[in-house]
A and B are shown apart, each in its own frame.
Chain A
Amino acid sequence: MSMRELVTGGAACAVPGSSSSSSNPLGALANALIGSSSKTQERLREIPNAAAPTSDTQFYSQVDDSVAALPGSELDRPFLHSNAQGSDFIRGLRSFDDNGLADAWEEIQRQPHLDHLYDPAAAPIQPTLDGPPQRVLSSFLHSFVDSSRSGIPLHPTPLPLLGLSQGDKQCIRDRSSIMARHFFADKSEDFINAQVNALLSSLEIENDVRARGPVPGRFRELEDYWNESQGILKPGARSADGWVTEFSQYTAQHGDTNAWVRSFEQQHGASSWASEFEQEQAQLTSIDHLNGGDVANLAAIEQTRMLAHTLSQNDDPKFQVKPASGSWATEYQQQYNGGGTWADEFVHNEVFRGPDQWVNEFATERERHEQADDQWVNEFSKLHVDDWVEEFGHQVGEGILGDTSSDNWANAYDEFLNEQVAAKQRSDASSGVYVFSDMNPYVGHPNPLKEGQELFRKGLLSEAVLALEAEVMKNPENAEGWRLLGITHAENDDDQQAIAAMMRAQEADPTNLEVLLALGVSHTNELEQAAALKYLYGWLQHHPKYGTLAPPELGDSLYYADVARLFNEAAQMSPEDADVHIVLGVLYNLSREYDKAIASFKTALKLKPNDYSLWNKLGATQANSVQSADAILAYQQALDLKPNYVRAWANMGISYANQGLYEQSIRYYVRALAMNPKADNAWQYLRISLSCASRNDMLEPCDSRNLELLQKEFPL
């Protein structure tokens, strides 16, 4: 930056970015005035800040240079201030004022500057630094930034008058507070506050409650709530900042943004609140406008996690290549279609939100209803839930709130409850708790294990599940019963239940190799690398032949690379052992090295050509590596070996969908569903394929799970 540009306005005003001064009438004048000295200045300016002098005397001894340190800082504002400190040059420039330069300058200032036009608010907060103070400020900020590395606390330093405007001070306060938390991350909150305070007090900036909080974790909802309850909501204005800061001071760290929620819960009890809510729900049904997702929020924070978690678990890696091309978001959407938009709201609620959000919503709703009952709002703002309930019941009784389409809301709520129950069950399953079916007809059966095996062989997997559940209820220590139950669930497309059952099998028999392998595969399907590695390593450890390969100390910290290396060694030891190649294939799926995985499975298939589940694994891997056509051949092999293999039928459908053959994929999904109507995933994929194939006429039968009609429409 040079004097030339300073005057010509290269940086300053009408012609930002101009490299030539010819367009500016002042340019020639400036050239004549400044001449070659600008080059010297330019070089001076290139001294990096790091080398900037650090004592006041030095700042002031470099007065001329300091003018050059002003690049562009004069944008949109008067060039000089009354408190300008002694630069000869500036004084010289000012003397030109009498000669009309000032007029020209004013003219430039008045030119329609785009920034200015679009940005009327920007002008008043421009820095009003003149040369030396600018340098002082720069250096001081540098020492502030630098103190993050030295670890030496910044001490308040008396600085010369810098002439900072209120806006400047606000910028410094807010930005330094936010940034300090990034570069002092290692330090305690006290240290950070001390640093920021030292900076601010040196610059004579009050770090008062009007500051935009230095504490991360401001609580927007509270702020809005506060605004609304006080009736002073000014859209766009952050008028409540001071209040928020005050609030933030009580929440030392952003982990504590929930503190408010917690204290609320402590006061009123989350569950009691929820149950109170449930009692009131009959009344609540009369207001369809009241957004259910928000109402349920407090009780639902935990369930939100569970449902989100459920969403994620349904995305099995075998479905990694998404059926509905270009729209995995719709897939997520599909997961909670049952709940409709209402459930959407619910799912979208964030973890941090507490009941206050609900308060907002409610307050807003009330505004919409134009029931500006101040006393009510005040009452409410005290957070007396009991009062609120009474009050609300009162209002409902008076019929103040709308009562249209209450049935919709009630239905949605029922659906929501059902979904919550389902989510809870699945969440239990994922945490390793096996969830038994209700009303099991096989309880009391003389030999449920044998019955289960028979049903499994016939491919009646859902029935087999019931029989095997009856078996393990009878004999909870029967590892084989649990194992078979796990395999049945896996083939029936329910990995969470499969894992839960297999974990029970492993409890009963910790060294069963088939169980360990199955657990490894199921966890791989769920993309849980650490758990998968644990079980695959366990398989190796307990294998009579390869146990010696596994050093016991490795079990504590398993790395993918170590486990893969060990299995490669095992494969070299006995290249004819199909199991080792299978595990290797699974491992390569974990690391997404699909080509290697395919090779391993193919090797295993040469040794075990009749293993239908192995063909399915090969197919799934090929599908994952975008070889859907090959995958179909592999699935076909699996189905030739086991015609009632539900998982392979469903996978086949996915592969066809991936190739855009939706009509074909529908037939396979329907076939899979005919064998296991409980396969929720398959229903969702069927729905996607139906819409992709523009068979919207069949969406209703799909939603109502009318298999008979679907089978008639889509025979295979």
Chain B
Amino acid sequence: MPVFKTPFNGYSVRFSPFYESRLAVATAQNFGILGNGRVHVIDLSPTSPIINELIAFDTADGVYDVAWSESHDSVLVAAIADGSIKVYDTALPPHSNPLRSLKEHAREVHGLDYNPTRRDSFLSASWDDSVKLWTLDRPASLRTFREHAYCVYSVAWNPKHADVFASASGDCTVRIWDVREPGSTMIIPGHENEILSCDWNKYDDCLIASASVDKSIKIWDVRNYRMPVSVLNGHGYAVRKIKFSPHRRNLIVSCSYDMTVCLWDFMVEDALVGRYDHHTEFAVGVDLSVLVDGLMASTGWDELVYVWQQGMDPKAA
């Protein structure tokens, strides 16, 4: 299966919503603690196991996350550790990039999510404890959501309701927001430890998953969040990122500081469906292709990006 080597430590990987073979990778030097960053846009070759780099963008600080625009096939946004968000257009000549640098967050930007239903806006989660809402046609953010009491690590739009999103924070809560409302609609004190990631089920707009430093993943029904619908145990260290499958209702993929990528079916008793231990360092980025059922990608601090078909060995040549 194809492997791509990045000069810096991988931080995030995302499939393009327009081209089934295209991915964006966020990387940061020195584990994102100090140094530069780079966004790679890479293309899988249909015939050979080689991944080609289409273009790369360098940044003056680490890149923690990337998100593809849902409206323009060549546009992507990058979360930079210096608190800025940079907008790149891969179709434009290098001197035109970045298209924009949006600097409002006071601290590291750690998570981004592009609105999949409205397609015109995106959210940023920052270590300044806030979430901001942006559109590309404005130089300043539309709104700032301040309620979390510690770093916000990730944000996720609801797949059905264009105004609803969730945020995961180190204050041990997931909050549900409606951008039309002044404050959060719901607070889920989901874990005993920091929550690093959250995502909505793509088939049931009431189900949300949270991943925590406490090693567990919990599935919640927002109509009744006193008890989780399901708790997935099996990671040996903090769970860094989770994603619901765009193709299978009950499937979740996760990656962890235990260096593995795991697949789960949260509706069955033995929830762990698969475990991939191809990374030799913390696995911090994972994604599932919307366009190809079962196509997965992961990246980690071992400076490698793997792309493979579910059920296959990511390391198999």
Contact = CB atoms under 8 A, between A and B. Distances in A.
A591 B229 CA distance: 10
Given A73-B36, A122-B60, A326-B161, A114 B98 contact: yes
B30 A137 contact: yes
Interface string B168-203: 001111010010111111110100111010000000
B302 A183 contact: no
Nearest to B9: A49
B84 interface: yes
Contacts of B127: 178
A578 B184 CA distance: 45
A328 interface: yes
Given A118-B100, A178-B127, A329 B282 contact: no
A182 B189 contact: no
B316 interface: no
Nearest to B163: A329
A315 B224 contact: yes
Given A15-B94, A114-B101, A348 B33 contact: no
A171 B227 contact: no
Contacts of B267: 591-592
A127 B269 CA distance: 50
Nearest to B59: A115
B193 to A, nearest CB: 6
Contact of B94 (A16, A174, A221): A16
Contacts of B175: 350
Nearest to A238: B106
Interface residues of B, number: 92
B160 to A, nearest CB: 7
Interface stretch (B146-154, B290-298, B307-315): B146-154
A315 B223 contact: yes
A395 interface: no
B183 A345 contact: yes
A329 B181 contact: yes
Interface in A651-673: none
B84 A122 contact: yes
Nearest to B37: A72
B81 interface: yes
B77 to A, nearest CB: 14
Interface string A139-156: 001100100100000000
B18 interface: no
Interface in A49-71: 49-50, 71
A527 B213 contact: no
A454 to B, nearest CB: 36
Contact of B280 (A11, A50, A317): A50
A134 B35 CA distance: 9
Contact of B194 (A11, A216, A221, A351): A216
A355 to B, nearest CB: 15
A17 B129 contact: no
- Report whether over half of chain A's contact residues are helix, strand or loop; otherwise say mixed: helix
Interface string A316-330: 010010000011110
Contact of B32 (A17, A76, A114, A175): A175
Contact of B172 (A254, A308, A313, A559): A254
A46 interface: yes
Contacts of A126: 60
Contacts of B8: 71
Contacts of B38: 11, 71-72
B20 interface: no
Contact of B196 (A12, A182, A349, A527): A182
A356 to B, nearest CB: 11
A75 B37 CA distance: 11
Nearest to B304: A48
B301 interface: yes
A17 B89 CA distance: 11
Contacts of A628: none
Interface of B: 5, 7-9, 29-36, 38, 55-61, 81-82, 84, 86, 94-95, 97-98, 100-101, 103, 106-108, 127-129, 146-147, 149-151, 160-161, 163-164, 170-173, 175, 178, 180-187, 189, 192-194, 196, 204-206, 213-215, 221-227, 229, 237-238, 240, 257, 267-269, 280-282, 301-303
9 contacts: A19-B56, A75-B59, A119-B82, A141-B33, A142-B31, A145-B301, A168-B34, A185-B238, A329-B161
9 interchain residue pairs of minimum CB distance: A348-B183, A118-B101, A315-B223, A72-B36, A527-B224, A329-B178, A185-B213, A18-B94, A16-B58
